[in-house]
Amino acid sequence: MKGAHRVIVETKKIKYDFVVKRNITILTGDSGSGKTVLIDYIRDYRRYGADSGVFVSCDCDCRTLDNEDWERQLEEITGSIVFIDEGNRFLPTQRFAELVQQSDNYFVIATREKLPMLPYSIKEIYGFRESGKFRHTKQKYNEIYHLYGEISNSDSIEPEYVITEDSNSGFDFFSSLSAEKHINCISANGKSNIIKRLQEEKICGTVLVIVDGAAFGSEMRDVSKYLEAEKNIVLYAPESFEWLLLASNTIPHLNVSAILEQPENYIDSAKYISWERYFIDLLIDSTKDSPLWRYAKKKLPAIYSSPKVIKTVKKVMKLIVWD
């Protein structure tokens, strides 16, 4: 399944209108914020159609999934947006993660818990708020909004210390970039170790933490709370390190601007559990015939640490002052 899909769920009293464009979307918020109501409406519409008093509009099927025989149901659903409410015991399991990875469906999951088995994007974590668009009638419009942005500070920052989630090519690159400015760069060796590394280092200066945003969603709540308390830390979360290299438009004879502008039209959810993995494969496949530019995830080829590449990547990393 590919593409962006607009979903409208409406009754006489309330309306939801949002777009789903990745295989995993997370809906979060306090009890009573509207998550369960949305999923109940979709379930009612599937069962009773127009008699339910619910109107659902989407260019693909909207389905629901719960504890009752969930594996068989999921294996039979294809090309649909599957809505799952919190409280289902299968959500944090390895088996559910495996079936999601094998599925060509999109999933919209309502939960207040982190789901570390699933690599979902920080850009696809949403909350609910009530909009005033229907304030002159009895109908309420529930607007869905992004919970986290790409960078936690709107002002430009000048890092004095860098911590990367990546321990492979991404770490190699940012070590070279940091060395230009004579600042330390260390690896957290995985997304679940970010807070631990920050606590261990006890850094006084401005810290830049670089993570792969396309798969960092499960850690975002805890990291966000930590950053709120520690004002000297800034999070930068591009889709992935490979996305940064592609977006720099440095590699000769490689034009992926159309893909980067609307990745959802190119990334098949049945093949890629996250956009991060897609961008890794895209960079590897696009450079495999060039001995100089042939990309490897484990160890960064020397050309990618050249002054020209570093300079162009700096331009992509807006709000961060390296020079």
pLDDT tens over the chain, length 323 residues: 999 999 999 999 889 999 999 999 999 876 766 788 999 999 999 999 999 999 999 999 999 998 789 999 999 999 999 999 988 999 999 999 999 998 999 999 999 888 999 999 999 999 887 765 554 445 667 777 777 765 555 578 899 999 999 899 999 999 999 998 899 999 999 999 999 999 988 778 899 999 999 999 999 999 999 988 888 899 999 999 999 999 999 999 898 999 999 999 999 999 999 999 999 999 999 999 999 999 999 999 999 999 999 999 999 998 888 87
Which residue is listed with tokens 């668009």?
133
Indicate the pTM of the whole model: 0.90
Q: Which residues of the chain does CATH 3.40.50 include?
A: 5-146
8 Å CB contact between 1 and 59: no
What CA–CA distance (Å, rounded) separates 210 from 164? 5
8 Å CB contact between 213 and 191: no
Domain 5-146 is of which CATH architecture? 3-Layer(aba) Sandwich (3.40)
Half-sphere exposure of 179 (CA within 13 A, CB side): 10
